């Protein structure tokens, strides 16, 4: 403001004459200019089609006037202004304030579909006393809640034959910034497809059928399956998959699906459909049945393979059956009238059948053996000429087991291994080459330390599971970044399943074993060779089966006084399943 200084001079001369003089000077001191801006919206949550009022409040907190005020409001993508967004020529006295309102509409376009947080911004410029330039800005956030979820359907038609299982996938996309809960997914199957109980997985995790999931209703032979109360995080993708048995020709039929969900009180529905492609539904119908879902080691699995050539399209047929984790005992061809001939070649666990004609039914009896995956399976491939090209039809019939298969070794005596060794006065390093996935291994030297963590320290962070068998499965297994199990040592003479996430080398330091005596108990024994020297299986006796694994099962097995397989030696670093009929001592 204005400030005045006053000065007075007075006095007297020698004659005591008094005089005086007065003067003043006026100065203007600039005030402190303070511009304050705030922005707000009249709603926090909006949906497409709504209108929103953005209010900008401008305050002069200083003690001098502001003039030439310009207000500019920038709306976020997906919003359309219904009123002016730029205003100029405003002025504010000291301590005064004003408001500017802008009305905007939420559009129904791609930007609004993104959903989530949308920010409007305001920029204010002003001039104060003496030409001082002032700037201030603010923002307001609103959330679009009506962001639609997307539903995409997909099926795996590669093995779509009568008796096979069609894999169905439904992908739910949540593009919004909000978690979405209480999602209900409904799938309507056409006649000829039957939902496989407890086959559902959501984001890779098994989802058991209960009062909320896998609810099946049926009308006129058509099934409807419901999954309720599914949840998804913001900006995420959810994948629900299940399988269905193909009971009839379903070519050209449609699978319908829909989701119902609630976003901030708004109920929405999204539909999709999948048409089963005719070219993937092949005839003759080709399917495989099995008589058991789960088996023990001494139980026989009976597979029945049926080929129905009702349209007479079988020319030069060839059927190849490959057993994985199984030993084939015998093959019986039914419907073997004079005009139905075949030649069979059985090679270990592979069966080749030629000269097949018309309708075929084959029974295959198999025994399960130790496996490296949660599945035993019979792979059936039918090759024939349809008159114009060679056709290959494939079915992979699966029997579920666990890894490690708890209790897979049954009706046997104790599996405690009794190992006696003499050591050489020689220290050395031994390296195991591990492949990504499951490896069946053993250590052929006596390590300096038998502690599991010490031995596996060179591959720390690369292994997730280690299993051995000793009356029961002993293991060390990682799940959700936590370790479970009571396996604490790795010893020579024992066999171990180890799972690694990548190819790697494991180097162990220890003493060379000069000789050993290893006791095998009646039944199956999981062992390794406690020696750096290989041993010829012809030099061993008393065993009926020896299996090891290296990307596939390699074995030597006896059935009906005949030997099958191409395993000839026991090698260091490998693990072996060995079956003996009685107590045996294996030494070197």
DSSP letter for each residue of 42-89:
S-SEE-TT-EEEEEEEEEE-SSS-EEEEEEEEEPPTTEEESS-SEEEE
Which of the 8 DSSP states describes residue 452?
Answer: H
Using pLDDT thresholds of 50, 70 and 90, give the confidence band for residue 296.
Answer: low
- pLDDT, one tens digit per residue, over 123-145 is 999 998 778 899 999 999 988 77
> Which of 348, 400, 407 has the alpha carbon at shortest distance from 376?
400
Using pLDDT thresholds of 50, 70 and 90, give the confidence band for residue 312.
Answer: low
* DSSP-assigned beta bridge partners for residue 580: 523, 543
Q: Per-residue pLDDT averaged across 275-286, rounded?
A: 62
Using pLDDT thresholds of 50, 70 and 90, give the confidence band for residue 559.
Answer: low
> Which of 87, 39, 37, 35 has the alpha carbon at shortest distance from 63?
35
pLDDT of 417 reads 53
Using pLDDT thresholds of 50, 70 and 90, give the confidence band for residue 345.
Answer: low
Using pLDDT thresholds of 50, 70 and 90, give the confidence band for residue 430.
Answer: very high
Question: Greater confidence, 308 or 250?
Answer: 250
Which of the 8 DSSP states describes residue 207?
Answer: -
CA distance 399 to 408: 13
CA distance 107 to 118: 12
Using pLDDT thresholds of 50, 70 and 90, give the confidence band for residue 87.
Answer: very high
Q: Per-residue pLDDT averaged across 139-161, rounded?
A: 77
Q: Per-residue pLDDT averaged across 412-438, rounded?
A: 76
What is the Cα 68 distance to its own chain's centre? 60
CA distance 106 to 49: 5
Beta carbons of 518 and 587 less than 8 angstroms apart:
yes
CA distance 377 to 290: 10
> Which of 387, 370, 380, 245 has the alpha carbon at shortest distance from 319?
380
Q: Per-residue pLDDT averaged across 342-348, rounded?
A: 58
Q: Per-residue pLDDT averaged across 432-461, rounded?
A: 92
- pLDDT, one tens digit per residue, over 378-411 is 888 888 876 778 888 777 776 655 433 333 333 3
Question: Greater confidence, 268 or 308?
Answer: 268
Beta carbons of 157 and 168 less than 8 angstroms apart:
no
Using pLDDT thresholds of 50, 70 and 90, give the confidence band for residue 155.
Answer: confident
Measured at the alpha carbon of residue 416, what is the angle toward residues 414 and 418, in degrees to the nearest 5?
Answer: 130
Exposure b/e, 109-123, CB count within 10 A at least 16 = b: eeebbbbeebebebb
Domains recognised in the chain with CATH numbers: 35-144 (2.60.40.1530), 150-280 (2.60.40.740), 285-400 (2.60.40.740), 418-587 (no CATH)
Q: 292-296, 299-303, 537-541: which has the minimum mean pLDDT? A: 292-296
Q: Per-residue pLDDT averaged across 47-70, rounded?
A: 90
Question: Greater confidence, 470 or 89?
Answer: 89
Strand intervals (E) in 179-284: 180-188, 193-195, 201-202, 205-206, 213-219, 222-232, 236-246, 254-263, 266-275
Beta carbons of 201 and 140 less than 8 angstroms apart:
no
* DSSP-assigned beta bridge partners for residue 243: 167
pLDDT of 104 reads 95
pLDDT of 333 reads 73
Question: Greater confidence, 434 or 410?
Answer: 434
pLDDT of 56 reads 96
Q: 177-181, 284-288, 341-345, 541-545: which has the minimum mean pLDDT? A: 341-345
What does each C-alpha distance from 90 to 53, 74, 125, 250, 576 come to in angstroms? 21, 19, 10, 73, 90
Q: Return mean pLDDT, the chain.
A: 81
Residues 6+ apart with CB under 8 A from 360: 305, 306, 307, 309, 319, 333, 335, 340, 342
Q: Per-residue pLDDT averaged across 544-558, rounded?
A: 82
Which of the 8 DSSP states describes residue 338?
Answer: T
CA distance 488 to 150: 49
Which of the 8 DSSP states describes residue 574?
Answer: B
Question: Greater confidence, 303 or 175?
Answer: 303
Highest mean pLDDT among 112-126, 357-371, 468-482: 112-126
Strand intervals (E) in 412-503: 418-434, 437-441, 445-447, 463-469, 473-479, 482-484, 496-500
Which of the 8 DSSP states describes residue 489?
Answer: B
């Amino acid at each position: 403001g204005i400030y005045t200084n006053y000065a007075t001079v007075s006095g007297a001369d020698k004659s005591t004459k008094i005089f005086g003089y007065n003067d003043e000077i006026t100065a203007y001191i600039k005030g402190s200019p303070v511009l304050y801006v705030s922005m707000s919206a009249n709603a926090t949550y909006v949906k497409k089609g709504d209108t929103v009022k953005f209010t900008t409040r401008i305050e002069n907190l200083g003690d001098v006037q502001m003039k030439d005020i310009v207000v500019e409001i920038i709306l976020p993508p997906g919003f359309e202004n219904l009123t002016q967004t730029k205003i100029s020529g405003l002025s504010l006295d000291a301590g005064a304030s004003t408001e500017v309102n802008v009305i905007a509409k939420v559009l129904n376009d791609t930007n609004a579909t993104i959903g989530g947080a949308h920010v409007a911004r305001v920029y204010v410029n002003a001039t104060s006393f003496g030409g001082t330039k002032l700037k201030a800005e603010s923002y307001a956030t609103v959330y679009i809640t009506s962001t639609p979820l997307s539903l995409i359907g997909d099926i795996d038609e590669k093995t779509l034959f009568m008796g096979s299982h069609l894999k169905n996938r439904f992908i739910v996309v949540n593009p919004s910034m909000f978690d979405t809960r209480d999602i209900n997914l409904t799938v309507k199957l056409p006649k000829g497809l039957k939902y496989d109980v407890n086959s559902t997985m959501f984001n890779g995790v098994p989802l058991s059928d209960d009062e909320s999931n896998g609810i099946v209703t049926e009308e006129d032979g058509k099934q409807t399956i419901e999954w309720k109360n599914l949840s998804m995080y913001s900006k995420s993708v959810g994948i629900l998959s299940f399988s269905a048995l193909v009971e009839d020709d379903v070519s050209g039929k449609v699978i319908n699906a829909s989701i119902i969900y609630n976003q901030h009180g708004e109920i929405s529905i999204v539909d999709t459909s999948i048409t089963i492609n005719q070219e993937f539904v092949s005839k003759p119908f080709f399917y495989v049945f099995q008589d058991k879902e789960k088996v023990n080691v001494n139980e026989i699995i009976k597979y029945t393979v049926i080929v129905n050539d009702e349209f007479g399209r079988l020319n030069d047929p060839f059927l190849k059956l490959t057993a994985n984790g199984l030993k084939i005992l015998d093959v019986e061809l039914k419907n073997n009238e004079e005009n139905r001939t075949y030649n069979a070649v059985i090679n270990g666990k592979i069966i080749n059948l030629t000269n097949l004609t018309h309708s075929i039914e084959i029974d295959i009896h198999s025994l399960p053996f130790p496996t490296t995956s949660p599945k035993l399976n019979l792979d059936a491939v039918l090759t024939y000429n349809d008159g114009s090209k060679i056709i290959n039809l494939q079915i992979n019939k699966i029997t579920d087991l666990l890894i490690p298969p708890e209790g897979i070794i049954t009706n046997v005596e104790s599996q405690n291994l009794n190992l006696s060794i003499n050591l050489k006065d020689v220290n050395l390093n031994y390296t195991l080459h591990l492949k990504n996935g499951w490896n069946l291994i053993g250590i052929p030297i006596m390590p300096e330390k038998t502690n599991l963590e010490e031995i596996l320290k060179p591959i720390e962070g690369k292994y997730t599971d280690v299993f051995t068998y000793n009356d029961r499965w002993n293991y060390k297994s990682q799940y959700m970044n936590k370790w479970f199990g009571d396996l604490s040592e790795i010893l020579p003479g024992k066999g171990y399943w180890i799972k690694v996430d990548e190819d790697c080398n494991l180097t162990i330091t220890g003493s060379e074993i000069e000789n050993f005596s290893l006791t095998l108990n009646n039944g199956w024994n999981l062992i390794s060779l406690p020696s750096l020297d290989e041993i010829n299986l012809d030099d061993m006796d008393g065993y009926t089966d020896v299996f090891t694994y290296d990307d596939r099962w390699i074995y030597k097995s006896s059935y009906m006084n005949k030997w099958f397989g191409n395993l000839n030696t026991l090698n260091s670093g490998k693990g072996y399943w060995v079956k003996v009929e009685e107590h045996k001592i294996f030494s070197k």
